[in-house]
Structures are given as C-alpha cells and as structure tokens.
Structure 1
Amino acid sequence: MLRFTDLELFVRSSALGSFTAAAHEADLLPGQVAAAIKRLERDLDVRLFARTTRSLRLTAEGELYLPTAQRVLDTLRQGHEQLHASHSTLRGVLQVSAPSDIGRNLLLPWLSAFRREHPALSLRFFLSDQMADFSRDPVDIAIRYGLNQDANYIALPLAPWNRRVVVAAPGYLARHGRPRTPDDLQQHDCLLYLQHNRVYDKWQLGNRTVQVRGPLVSDDADVVRRWALEGEGIVYKSWLDVSANIAAGELEILLPEHQGEATPVTLVCPHRKQLSPAVTQLHLWLRERFATLQPAQLF
C-alpha cells in the first residue's frame, strides 16, 4: 500500500536532488528517506531514481510518475485543509508579504475579513514588489507571482490559472488607436515597472517576445496600473490586478488572440513545519476567493 509520507519524500527528493537534503527538511535520517524510496519503488515495481555516489536523478519512469505524485499530494492536502478548516481559535502572529497591487486591491480586504473571523490572531501585512527574503525579512509566508524557483521552499497554489493581459484605458485608445499586432506595441507608450530590480520591458505574447518602451516607469506595480487608468499608456499586467477595472469598463483588453505570460499565484513558506493551522486555513480561505475571479476563458 502506498504511503503518503513516501510520496512526499519522493517529490521532495526530486525537487532537492538529494536524499540528504530531503531528510534534513523532514527531520529524518538519510537512510530513512532511502528506505521510503525503496519501499515506494517496490510498491510500484519500477525504479524511480538513478543513484550514484555523486548524483541523484529521476529515471524515465520517475519523470512519468512525478506529476501524478504531485497531484495526489495536492488533493490529499486540500482534503486535509477542508477537513480542518473550522472556526477553531487561531492565535499568535502571522506575518504576510505580498506584491503591492494585488496586496492593496485584493488581499487587503480578504485578510481583513479573515482576521474578523479569527480575532485572537494578529496579522502583519507587508507590501513590496521586491521578493521577500525569508532569512532576512520578518515574514512567515509570502504571496508571490510565478513558479516557485527555490526547491527549499514550500509553495501552495492559489491561482495557478492566472496570466498577464495587455490593457489600456478607452481614453488612451481614442487618442492613439488600438494596436493590431504585438509589433504595434513598439509604437505606443507602454507603462513599465521594475521586476527583480530590472525594468520589465520584454512582453511575452504567445510565441513572441516584444521589446517595448515608454516614458513612465515605477518600482510600484500599483502605480503603473493607476497610470493606465488615467490614460497614460498601455500596460501588461496580471489578470488578477486588472479584472475589476476591466469589468467596470475602465480598461480594455488588447490583442486577446495573443496569450499572455503565465503568472500563477502561490503561497510560499520556508519550511513545512511552518504550515501552522493559521497558514493552512488562510491558504484555503484565499484559494476559494481567488477561484471566484477565474474567468471562463482567460485571454
């Protein structure tokens, strides 16, 4: 019979590339992790890893099985969260970091409502478009755009379907016209912001990457969205950041036939031991609310 912990150790060993690292994360001995993998291989009747004294890599069978194992773990984790997401008393302090735009316009009211349901819990909410450093910043969890690039962190999905869209205000389009192709963007005022301390001026649309430019740049993505609302130019933003403005007719989607870059939203924490009841309940709370914003068809 397959064991939940064996699947977890298989997925984490694959992500970390080491039984020793997976053992350290799970507070186990390396031999215990190796035994769990052997047990899983025996149950499946396949070899999942090709092991040498210096390297650990997935076999072809392991590569094939990994997505299934991840889906199973996600399903079990969601079931566990739903089972335990009661209104039991949550206490202590939860420190949350988030990007500026989604933080102010979506997460702020949601976190306020969550706090009202759990009045014994204290929340500290930090907004920045710079990625939180768990080793330096006073943060327990971070809401992030994009795929988790650090295998040492635990990433729980919130809005895996989210994408960027190209939008502009009707007033700007009335004055400057509507771009018909991605290349047309190079003739327009594009509103830019910093991403990882660099100007994000290469916009991916379908299989095309377009270099754009514009007179306005900010290190705050919410400022750039506000410029777009004022008719200052065209912006390439997460659907979640602009969906309310689109619904209100304040912004219009451009080039919908050219799909924007995937920008999944995740809840990240540095260690599985930090998946406290407050974190697991907040994850479930936020995931349900993000789901209400998923369009039937994302451009």
Structure 2
Amino acid sequence: MTDNLKDIPVFVAAVEAGSFAQAATRLHLSRSAVGKSIARLEARLGVRLFQRTTRSQSLTDNGALFYERCQRALEEIRSAESLLETGKHQVRGRLRISLPVLFGRQCVAPLLIELAQEHPGLDLEMSFSDRVVDIVEEGFDMAVRNGALPENSLLVARRLGEHRMVLCASPEYLRKKGTPETVADLRQHTAINYQRAGKVLPWQLADNEGQPHSFIPASSLNMDDLQVIADTALAGFGLAWLPCWMVRKEIREGKLTPLLKQAPDVRFDVQAVWQQTPHLPLKVRVVVDRLVSHLPSVMSVDV
C-alpha cells in the first residue's frame, strides 16, 4: 500500500503545476521520473488520468474526480501533521517562501537564516523575485509582499510592519540645482524613476499641508532596479524616491540628503501572505512570528 500511495503526491503536483516539467521542478525530480510515476498510477488504476498532446496537458473526467479526492486527502494529512508538530513544538520540513529581491535580501533573509540556525530541522527555500507569484499555483508556502494586497479569498495576510519612503538627492546635485522646498518645486528637477513590468510607478508624496500627491515625474532615466537608482542618485544625477531602510547608511553618512522633511511621511505596509488552511503549519507560524517581532526594528530608521 505504501508503494501505491507514493505516486499520489506526484500526481497532485502535476495537476497543480500544469505540466510534468513544472511538477518536476517543484518536487526536485526529473521530468522522466514524474512521467513514470503518473504512468504507474494510471496502470494501477486502469484509467487514463491525463489527456496529453505535444502542446498541452489536461485532466480526463476520471483524472478530475481522482484529483479532487486526492487533494482533499493530502490536505487532511497536512492538517494532521501540523497538529502533531504544534504538540511537539518542533519545527521541521521544507518551507518555500517568495521574497522581493532587494527588501528580501537586505531585511528578511538575515532573519530567516538566523531562524534556520535555531531550527536544524527546518529546510528553507527562499526565492527572490519582484514578480507577484501565485502562491497556490507555484507551490509556495508563503510570501512577503510590500504595499496594498489585492482581494483573494484563498489567501491570508498578516501585517509585519511598515516601511517609510524618502525623497533624496546627493549634496552635489543640490548644490548645482538647488533644494526643492515643495512638491511643486519638483517640476524643476531631474527625477530617476522606478519601473516594474514595463510600467513606471508613481511617486506618492504629501505636501507641507499633508495633502497627498501621486504623480509620475518627467524623467529621461527609468530603471527596474532600486539599487541602481540609489547608485545613480549617489552619483549626482537627480532626485530619487526610495525606501528608508535602503539608503539609511548613505543618509547618516551625508552622501544623500532627505528632502521635503517638513511633509508627512509616506508609509507602506509589509505583509506575510499564505494559503488559507484550517491548521496553520508550525513552520509557517514560527517564520511569521519571527518576522513580526524582528522586522520592524530592521526597517526603522530616523532620517
């Protein structure tokens, strides 16, 4: 019976990944191993589970029925494991987490590495991408995201803290171009814009009276890498709107000057997101609790 059951998680992964190749990547198997596992399962059941062509893969009616029951059974097993883990207070198993590239590298990864050292049974798999991954479809246990989240009934979110944004420029640039005192003054200055997925993201600034302004400043330089934007601002090219945690060292050392300090701060929530489940796995709970308790101090900076 044990040998018969080992092919079922592979089958479920193949359905949820959308292809044998993607399932192989998630399971750290070869594509041929996934194919053989599905073939064994089909032979044992005496039915075809997938309708396969050279370009696509879809479930047969029997496959869809079998997947529904298998997915339900595996969820029950995961819930049972979670309850047992909680009782033993032991954190173990693989946890796949998606992180924004720069924020994840500078602020989150050091905390998770420290946590992994405390729990030798925890296998952390950190994936760094500024793309908003589909946690369910791509097989992640959780993700850390910045900013507002879209409505999604399949996901649960917990606020980890907030990060402030700062408008800044190098002293050299300000000596040449002058220091802007109001939001309206920014029209006379050179901006360095951040773009994601080919779209330039607007600056969101408050004026001296606290009124919010969202706009895309005219710029001849648009980049999809925040670190390069910071480096360009340091080189004296123009104004940059960046997270405080990213440029705190440069501001403290006087290499960048914060601007419009009299205006209220603009802040964005940082949140942990995971798939809704009746029993939250202990490994997810421990990671989220660590981030809630430690991440705010990592992000805090007085500029």
Query: TM-score with structure 2 length normalisation?
Result: 0.62
Larger Rg: 2
Pair 1:258-2:260 in alignment: no
2:52 maps to what in 1?
A: none
1:168 maps to what in 2?
A: 169
Pair 1:243-2:248 in alignment: yes
How far apart are the structure 2 equivalents of 1:176 and 1:222?
A: 23
> How far off is 1:250 after superposition?
3.2
> How far off is 1:223 after superposition?
2.7
| Contact 2:245 2:300 survives alignment (8 Å) | no
| Contact 1:238 1:263 survives alignment (8 Å) | no
Pair 1:223-2:228 in alignment: yes
| Contact 1:183 1:210 survives alignment (8 Å) | no
* Compared CA separation, residues 111 and 248, structure 1 to 2 (3 A): farther
2:114 maps to what in 1?
A: 113
C-alpha offsets along residues 117-141 of structure 1, whole Å, 9 cap, x if unaligned?
1222111112222212224334221
2:204 maps to what in 1?
A: 203
1:178 maps to what in 2?
A: 179
How far apart are the structure 1 equivalents of 2:177 and 2:107?
A: 31
1:157 maps to what in 2?
A: 159
- In structure 2, stretches of 5+ residues that fail to align are 1-84
2:97 maps to what in 1?
A: 96
> How far off is 1:86 after superposition?
12
How far apart are the structure 2 equivalents of 1:174 and 1:275?
A: 55
- Aligned-residue RMSD, C-alpha: 2.9
Matches within 5 A, 1:1-299: 88-152=89-153, 153-160=155-162, 162-195=163-196, 197-205=198-206, 206-273=211-278, 275-293=280-298, 295=300
How far apart are the structure 1 equivalents of 2:240 and 2:87?
A: 41
Count residues with an aligned counterpart: 214
1:263 is paired with a residue whose SS is strand
> After the TM superposition, which of the residue ranges 123-132 and 211-220 deviates more from structure 2?
211-220
| Contact 2:166 2:258 survives alignment (8 Å) | yes
| Contact 2:193 2:219 survives alignment (8 Å) | yes
Q: Which amino acid aligns with 2:246?
A: D
How far apart are the structure 2 equivalents of 1:257 and 1:90?
A: 47
How far apart are the structure 1 equivalents of 2:171 and 2:277?
A: 46
C-alpha offsets along residues 209-246 of structure 1, whole Å, 9 cap, x if unaligned?
34312232222333323333333322112233333433
* Compared CA separation, residues 295 and 124, structure 1 to 2 (3 A): closer
| Contact 1:144 1:265 survives alignment (8 Å) | yes
How far apart are the structure 2 equivalents of 1:180 and 1:104?
A: 34
How far apart are the structure 2 equivalents of 1:239 and 1:274?
A: 36
Q: Which amino acid aligns with 2:126?
A: F
| Contact 2:94 2:123 survives alignment (8 Å) | yes
How far apart are the structure 1 equivalents of 2:279 and 2:167?
A: 37
1:262 is paired with a residue whose SS is strand
2:120 is paired with a residue whose SS is coil
Query: TM-score with structure 1 length normalisation?
Result: 0.62
| Contact 1:146 1:264 survives alignment (8 Å) | yes
Identity of aligned residues (%): 27
> How far off is 1:88 after superposition?
4.5
2:191 is paired with a residue whose SS is coil
How far apart are the structure 2 equivalents of 1:275 and 1:173?
A: 51
